[in-house]
Structure 1
């Protein structure tokens, strides 16, 4: 066998013999990892539905959370594809009678909020 590198042999191999399967060779890996990630995310975000709160209650909770620098669990009126109310966790940076700004930069309208609770040691009270 010849130990010299021959570019013509390599070019001929890729031109006539080698057939790249493209996405097909990775599809099995993607599906299993993707499914695991989706299930993990779904289990993390599932939460029992909270009772709808009055705007005054929501504003009072936001005020207390802002003053005491507490984290809150916010359940929105909008639902995801599974029919679950969308939810957020975070710390309130500032708010007014119409909108909220969380510390992470998330902006919400007060009208979007269905309920809000304080987070105590990874549990809602």
Structure 2
């Protein structure tokens, strides 16, 4: 009987060395529930979060946006708005127009976003 078990061990060892290919964590992907995947998505988004910049004075924001509008240079804005994950909202685009305390930002997909100066936390030019 001991001889029979030794041959079974040898057969199993040969199978794992020659035929079996472990896929690692890929085989566990099917066991994730939607709650798990949404939690992982939020966790990864939180890791990629841009640090909140200090609030710039409205005069400085206005000056930067006017200069970017004249130069037709893209800007990167942090808004005083939090998304669903409590992450500060950022917007990139080109200033298409300025009217008193309102600006029109042309986004990358040729859509427009209308903002007031009080909604903007911080602005910098994208170079």
TM-score, length basis structure 2:
0.59
Is the aligned partner of 1:83 residue 2:90?
Answer: no
Higher helix share: 2
Aligned residues of 1:97 and 1:110 also touching (Cα < 8 A): no
Structure 1 CA distance, aligned partners of 2:59 and 2:99?
12
Pair member with larger Rg: 2
- Where in structure 1 are there 5+ consecutive unaligned residues? 1-27, 121-125
Query: Which whole-Å CA distance do the structure 2 matches of 1:51 and 1:57 have between them?
Result: 12
Which residue does the alignment assign to 2:15? none
| Uncovered stretches (5+) of structure 2, i.e. residues with no partner | 1-30
CA distance, structure 2, for counterparts of residue 89 and residue 47 of structure 1: 13
**C-alpha root-mean-square deviation of aligned residues, in Å?**
3.1
Aligned match for 2:74, one of 71, 75, 79:
71
Q: How many residues are treated as equivalent by the alignment?
A: 93
Aligned partner of 2:58 in structure 1 is 55
